[in-house]
Structure formats: C-alpha cells, structure tokens
Amino acid sequence: MIDFTLSAQQNAIREMAISFSTNVLTSAASIYEAHPTQKERFRALRPFYRQAVEGGMIKGMIPTTLGGIGGTVLDSAIMVEQMYKVDRSLSLTIFATGLGLSPLLLSGNWELQEEFLKPFLSGEGEPLASLVHSEPTGTANWLEKGSSGLQTTARKEGEKWIMWATNCAGWEDHGADLQCLVCRYSQDGKPQNPAQDPKNGIMILLITPDIVLQNKPEAYQVLSHGETAGHRSNSGPHVRFTEFHVPDHNLLAEPGKGAELIIQSFTASAALVGAMSVGIMAAAFEAALEFAKRDGRGGEEPIIHRQSVADLLMDVKMRTDAARFLTWKASHALDTGKGGELALEAKIFCSDSAVKSVLDVMSAVGMSSYSEETVFPRLLNDVICLPLFDGGNIGIRRRQLEKIFMTKDYDPWGATYKS
C-alpha cells in the first residue's frame, strides 16, 4: 500500500526541526551577515552550531549502534527540509559534519570509530567534521582510467604516511575536529599509471587538530578563504599539505578500499540534497504566495487573481510536492538497502527544479523580488549551488545515472517498484 503519511515519530522529528528553526535559525543570518568576510561570518555562526550540538543534532547523525541517537535517512531528509527553509548556511554546516563523518561511520572499523567519534557523541562544544575530497582542478573524473588521478597523494614511510596536496578544500586554522581526507597512494608522487584502475590507489586518512599541531607549521597552510555568493557563512578555505605526516594508526581505508566508502557517502548525501532543494522551493512558494494574496501591483485585486501569476505558483507547488515525494522514496530505498538510483534522481531533479522554481516565483512577484529586503535574492544565491555541489549534476550525478542505465541487466522500473 502506498502512503506518504508521516508516522508519529516522523512528525515529532519534523516538529523538532521546526522548533529549532524558529528558536535558533531565524536569528542566525542577521548575526553572521553583519560580518564582512566569509571567515568572520563562519566564526559568528559557531555559537548557533553549538546549540545544534547541545540539541542532539550531531549525535542524531550517528547510528545507535555506535552510541548515537540517529535514525534513518528518511528521518534526516524530513529534518533537512524544515531547516533549509529557514537558514541554509547553518543547516549546511550541520549536515556537512554528517557527510564528514560518513566514511568513518560506514567503515566498520570499531577501533577508530570508538576513538574518533567521542567529541561528536558528547553533546558539547562545536565539533566539526569534514570530508576533504575537493581539488581546484576538479574531481568530477577522479576515477577515470588514464587520467593523472587525484593530486592529493600519500606515500608510506615506516609507521607514517607522508601527504602532499598543492591546494585542496579544508577548514580554517588547524582544520576540523575530524577530517576524512581522500588521497591517492603514490610512493613516488608521480601521476597514476594510466593502465591501472584508479580505485586501486584511493585511500582515506583521518586528521585531527592534534595531528596538524604535531607537524611543522609549513606542513599545513591555509592559503585563502574564498567568498561565495550564497551559503555565505560556510567555511571552505584552500589548504596546502607539504610533507604532512599522519600516523599509520589513522589509516581509515587502505589503498584500494577508499573509493567505495566515498561513493557510498555521496550516495546518501544525494538524497539529502533533494531535501535541501525541497526546503528552498517551499520557502520560495510560501513567500510568493503571501505576496500574491496581499499585493495588487497597482491593480484592483491581489495578483493571485491573475492567471499568469497563479499558473507560475501552481507549477512551483507541484514541483515541490513531486520533489518531496521523490526524496522520501529515495531515502526509504537507501534505508532498506535497495540501491542509490532514486537518490541520484532526487539530487538531479530536485536541485534543477529548485533553481527554476525560485526564478518562477521571482517572475510572479516581479521587480520587487530583486530587493535585498525580500527573501528571494538570498534564496536565489543559495539555490544556485545545489546543482553544482555534492557531485555536480552534469559532471557527476547524471554520469552516474547514465552508467546505471548502461548496465546489461538494468531494469528500468526496478527502483520504482522494488524499493
């Protein structure tokens, strides 16, 4: 039987997210936007992040089997939508920590999980986790045979790994509390052998601020803090690793086993980007509907009575509902181990639809929507990122879906009816 009615527990999760959004997120932007740089805005955001930690939101992304209070991907999707409606920057920082923890959570390495999850289970402080995988030259084709491979490399010397990265995305100062850093094993530092499968060299190292401090100052350098058009309080500076030493004990995935963990991590996150997209569409629709019901733009009646405006709003409402249900279906498929095809569809369809929906509601409202005094410019600057990040729709997500279509035994509607 098909039923999208939320259970009592799921409704409780939704209400909790609404309460946190109302009591915490609504005031965040006015605080961090007062600062002139991305770095300063991120620091201004951290007290709000602390409230999320104290409220159990970080612990809620860790499974109960590992000491957390986490539920399902569907539970997370319900929470993400409600929070993303109100504030994207703080919400993304919270859920980016969940992505940062994903390789560790999926690894099955109980020893490392027990050691490195402690700060995220405490419910105290401002513990941040980061999945460090981006490079300035791009990583859309990082597993393509014949390419030069990841530029972030590591070689083995005794009981340590020596890392080198000319410029990759990281965190400020001494890094996040935990960085799951993806790199390519290369004992000689040369480009990967074009005849080999790139997956064979992918590994993951765990880096903490203590590890950074144990290295020479020049081994870890923050090169710059980029300024972004949207998500204006998120941190993602460019970092250089030079002869950076990491103990062998911190090897999460040995060469050949790292790629699969990263693929799994980004499969789950694809569904959550769907939820982020729904949150933005819902916020845009609600703001435009309120405007259309009260403002006549100089006419006798509010513009909701104009068919052209009503039609635009109808399209956005239908897209939002369709995107929400696809996200829920994709999340359920992940929770039940039915594969990631629908998660890819959710990431692509929902994020592309969100961009169009924000533009449509701005067209309905008219020139007033371009004013910084309205919510629409912020929604537009934030939504533009969704098709681009977490695996760009064109360079990565559509190509992943294409590969699924190309498999010999592909069942076109298997994910629809069997998940």
Residue type present at position 383: V
Q: Using CB atoms within 10 A of its CB, is residue 399 exposed (0-12), middle (13-18) or buried (19+)?
A: middle
Quote the CA–CA distance of 255 and 211 in Å, as a whole number: 21
d(CA 387, CA 20): 27
Q: How many CB atoms lie within 10 A of CB 195?
A: 7
What are residue 257's phi and psi, to 5 degrees? -115, -5
- CA 193 to each of CA 133, 152, 190, 260: distance values in angstroms, whole numbers, following the listed order: 20, 15, 9, 20
Tokens of 212: 């950074």
Q: Please state, in angstroms and as integers, the Cα–Cα distance from residue 68 to each residue in 63, 64, 86, following that order.
A: 5, 4, 26
Question: Cα–chain-centroid distance for residue 10?
Answer: 21
What one-letter code names the amino acid at 354? A
For the chain, helix (H) and strand (E) counts, in that order, are: 14, 8
Are β-strands 251-253 and 153-157 bridged in parallel, bridged antiparallel, or unpaired?
Answer: unpaired
Integer-rounded Cα Rg, in Å, for the chain is: 22
> In this structure, are residues 7 and 64 in contact, taking their beta carbons and an 8 Å threshold?
no
Q: Which residues pair with 153 in a beta bridge?
A: 164, 184
Token pair 């939002």 is found at 320
Q: CA–CA distance from 393 to each of 89, 100, 140, 278, 279 (Å)?
A: 21, 21, 10, 16, 19
375 in Cβ contact with 279 (< 8 Å)? no
In angstroms, how far is CA 245 from the centroid of its own chain?
A: 28
Which one from 3, 390, 409, 411 is the annotated catalytic residue?
390
The single-letter code of the amino acid at 348 is: I
Q: For this structure, is 188 an active site residue?
A: no
Dihedrals phi, psi of 389, to nearest 5 degrees: -100, 180
Residues marked as catalytic: 390
